[in-house]
Amino acid sequence: MEKKRIAVLLSGRGSNFDALAESVAAGRIPETEIALVVSNREGAPGIEKARARGLATRVIPSKGLEREAYDRLVVAALEEARTDLVCLAGFMRLLSPYFVEHFGGRILNIHPSLLPAFPGLEAQRQALEHGVRFSGCTVHFVDENLDAGPIVLQAVVPVRDDDTGETLAARILAEEHRIYSEAVRIVLEGRYRIEGRRVIRDAAGR
Ligand code: GRF
């Protein structure tokens, strides 16, 4: 059987990319390869990590381009790499309707809060400042809205009295690395259906 091909889009550190790459290498995401890693920023540490792993990389700078014009370049690169599933991992751009329609139902994102609470930037700091006792992370399908789309997996972490934005983010990040791989495996196996906003897994797929 031909391996499934994931593409990862990132803009920065790339720790979620690295966790996915590690899971692929270790067989926790079986029958899969990372076909391409794309960054919109030259010098993103995540792209360096991908190069160090010997993976195919593309830096596609977004400067001066309209959203859809940019997305057309990215989609072309993803198609050239015969991408089955797009994984956003700290990709700091909203996708255009063109992109979302092109890869409909085949785009995942990870967000560092229990959505729908605290969408957008600095979700960990938003959670801390709001005073919630628990936060966490969410892997969800991407639609045309920000941090929306059906939820595949979530993980919960406690918020401690002595937390700072940094300590809470670190606790959440450990869970991000765990559930992103699990969600990618679930989605690539295809043993689920979507009813409204709910992602319902087949009994055998649990
Ligand atoms: C993560 O917190 C992720 O949830 C958010 O952006 C951050 C990316 O971190 N979408 P990294 O680049 O994967 O280390």
Going along 51-190, which residue ranges are E strands? 57-59, 85-88, 107-111, 134-141, 151-158
Does one domain contain both 89 and 24? yes
Q: Is the pTM of this model over 0.85?
A: yes
Which CATH number fits the domain that encloses residue 19? Answer: 3.40.50.170
Q: Indicate if ligand 1 lies below 6 Å from the C-beta of 84.
A: no
Identify the H or E element spanning 193. strand 192-195
Does one domain contain both 16 and 94? yes
Q: Indicate if ligand 1 lies below 6 Å from the C-beta of 10.
A: yes
Which of 78, 104, 130 finishes a domain?
104
How many A from CA of 24 to the centre of ligand 1?
Answer: 18
Tell me if residue 177 is catalytic.
no
pLDDT at position 206, please?
Answer: 54
Contact 9, 94 (CB under 8 A): no
Contact 39, 8 (CB under 8 A): no
Phi/psi-derived region of residue 160, left when phi > 0, alpha when psi is between -120 and 50, beta in every other case:
beta
Q: Number of structural domains, the chain?
A: 2
Distance CA(121)–CA(102), nearest Å, equals: 26
Q: Ligand 1: which atom is nearest the Cα of residue 11?
A: 12
Q: Ligand 1: which atom is nearest the Cα of residue 18?
A: 13
Q: Indicate if ligand 1 lies below 6 Å from the C-beta of 112.
A: yes
Does one domain contain both 1 and 100? yes
Does one domain contain both 3 and 28? yes
Does one domain contain both 132 and 151? yes
Contact 160, 173 (CB under 8 A): no
pLDDT digits (tens, 9 = 90+) for 76-118: 999 999 999 999 999 999 999 999 999 999 999 999 999 999 9
Domain holding 206, by residue range, is: 110-206
Does one domain contain both 123 and 92? no
Identify the H or E element spanning 69. helix 67-80
pLDDT digits (tens, 9 = 90+) for 169-185: 999 999 999 999 999 99
